[in-house]
Chain A
Amino acid sequence: MNSKEKWEWGFTLSAIILLALVAATTFPYIFQVGGVPAPHLTNDAPVIQVHLIQRQYVFQVEEEGPKGNSSYYNLILTYPSYLLNLTATSIDVTGNLYFPYYSGQVIDVQIVPGTQAYAVILPPSVPGPYVFLNGEYDGPWFPYQVAVILELPSSGYFTLSDVSRYYEQTQQARAGALVGDPYNPPVILCNSTFEPRIYLSADQYGILNFTVPAPTLVVKEGANVSLVLFFPFPTSDSNYLRTYVNGRPEVVNNATLGIYGVSGGTLKQVASVELRYGVPIILNFTAVYPAYVYGIYYPIHTNYSPGNTSSPVIGEDFGLVTGAWGIIMVEGG
């Protein structure tokens, strides 16, 4: 081997060695995604442990919080100053937790079968609902899989100051960065009366007022609230309220519209009615909890398989889906 060839092979070998070093040293980390930043673990902030399980179109949440252990769909409950120490896993589907908090940082974590994903989410400074979504498929415009981090007040109800600040920052964001964004829901203030009657209507995709989650409502403590919801008959395969059974399309008739009080880390059903189409559906309740979840909160199994054509070979599209649900904040005093 002459001098020229020595240079050639020496250079090539050095490249191989460098790449081998990278592969070997990063190998232990291929079984996990993300990581918990050390400074967050060393401070004294209280921590809520959250286990996020990715399902096909929903997040299943298991929480160990200050008010006990709880399970939710598409919902994480937290309180001011608490850190969310999040572990995300999936058994069979690929997903992503994307939290583009519009006045803070972006959390972007892949959820992949066979790996553990970690993230720490800092609490937003103003209590209220904040959305995150599955960013794996088509970014923020994938319509249904949107979830909420609901930051409740430390105790009692949302104060007037909490509501004002939340409303102001949401309005500001929607006027600028979030123009056209269907995922940070608008806020509807209904706190000027103790007898609010609120009308919301679903669109061709089965979502309320063109937004997922549905609009955030603000009512007064002790108010007697009437929520009037309207769902048109689903005619499109794009609507999750239309599914395929034995290869033929059917509308979903066994879904429940409910009002669920958020208390002590659990959801307590305070009103419910079966979903009907083409007629107004009225849900009445008295606002005694600090917050409520309303609408079709519990996901519906939907399956797209015209003529029973879906199969593991050519592709399948089924899973638990919900879109017509939202948060009610209750203002105290």
Chain B
Amino acid sequence: MANQVAFWIFGHAVVYMLWLPAVSALYLLIPTLAGKPLYSDKLGRISALLYLVFSNVVPIHHLYMVNLPVYMKFVQEILTYGVVIPSMMTFFNLWATAKEAKFSWNVVSAFTVTAFAGAIAAGVTGISNATISFDAIVHNTMWVVGHFHAMILLSIVPAAMAVVYFMIPMLTGRNWYSKGAAWFHFWGYLLGSVILVVGMDQLGLGGLLRRSEIFPRTYYFVSAEVEVTVGMLLAQAATLAWLLNLLSTLVKGRRIELAPLDLGQTIQVIGVSLSGALPTLTSPVLRRAISRGYGMGVLGALIAALSFFFLAKMGDGYGDFIWIWLLLFITGVFLMALPILRDSKGV
């Protein structure tokens, strides 16, 4: 028991060693890309302070299912919720900063937005893990693996990639060799990572223990294992494209003169060179897309809403309802997004 407590008290810090640089990158990138100052400097400072306090008092939430007093675990649940507060403050602050800003849709901003949205998606699975009664169900299953993969693949790595995409030209004086490869990297990585995380979550909700080398050869588990594999391969292929692009950039990238520019201008210039189109919240592109695709968007919303009927009927997760839900939900979201994607030429 002492070993376990000591391990987590000293070991849990690794989570925030990875996460806080990603948050810092978002605090830099979002105001820069939005071309606006941070919405609230004070809120940002308080968030940092709360992160410092709460990130160090939560490690025992890994030990809900061991022989510790139940009330101590409940205190730990509350303290773990405490670390959600600076995250919520950060999300609000960054969202308010980006609100009504003229965002350039480029690879840097795409990875930045992914890191922001991914942190929320992955964070929600973290809140559920932090809840003892939920953890009792998913403890030691693939759900836990899905949570930290979501946190790393959907938030920490995208934030790092956003930084890498502007730092490589800064450091080398060469701009990215291939814009197409950069976009392939973004979409392939995003899609692959989402599929991988959904598959892991599905396995965990089915009760499969992590580290299991065997699993029931039933449709539910086999399909989820296949999802994880396909997602991993896609994300890896996309990352390989990034690596080749990086190597090509180092050798054959066009020379770019960034010395006279400050950091914000540098990020903007590199971003523009990696841009798709400009679907800003106030752009004519978006307005045109919304006006032309209004009916399709409403239909998509209705289908997405309908899908939750099957989700509610899913019961213990064994059966076809999960697939009906997933198919309808993705179709609905796609129909809602289609007009914007079409007019933005971002894909």
Contacts and interface: CB of A to CB of B under 8 A. Distances in A.
Interface residues of A, number: 56
Interface in A50-107: 90, 92-94, 96, 98, 100-107
Interface residues of B, number: 49
A224 interface: no
Interface string B194-233: 0000000000001111111111111001000000000000
B67 A103 contact: no
B209 A139 contact: yes
Given A7-B96, A115-B70, A178-B214, A12 B316 contact: no
B323 interface: no
Interface in B7-38: none
Contacts, number: 145
B89 to A, nearest CB: 6
Contact of B85 (A15, A37, A135): A15
Contacts of B73: 30
Contacts of A27: 74
B83 to A, nearest CB: 11
Contacts of B89: 8, 11-12, 15
Contact of B84 (A19, A33, A92, A102): A19
Given A11-B88, A11-B92, A15-B85, A106 B131 contact: no
B140 interface: yes
Contact of B209 (A135, A176, A178, A312): A135
A140 interface: yes
A26 B214 contact: no
A44 interface: no
A104 B216 contact: yes
Interface string B285-313: 00000000000000000000000000000
A114 B67 contact: yes
B91 to A, nearest CB: 9
A93 B209 contact: no
B7 to A, nearest CB: 12
B67 A177 contact: no
Contacts of A178: 214
B67 A108 contact: no
A96 B140 contact: yes
A276 B131 CA distance: 51
Contacts of B343: none
Interface of B: 2-3, 39-40, 42-43, 65-67, 69-70, 73-74, 77-78, 81, 84-85, 88-89, 92-93, 96, 127, 131-134, 136-137, 139-141, 206-218, 221, 316, 318
Given A100-B215, A108-B141, 12 more contacts: A23-B74, A26-B134, A27-B74, A30-B73, A100-B216, A103-B216, A106-B208, A106-B221, A138-B211, A139-B210, A139-B213, A140-B213
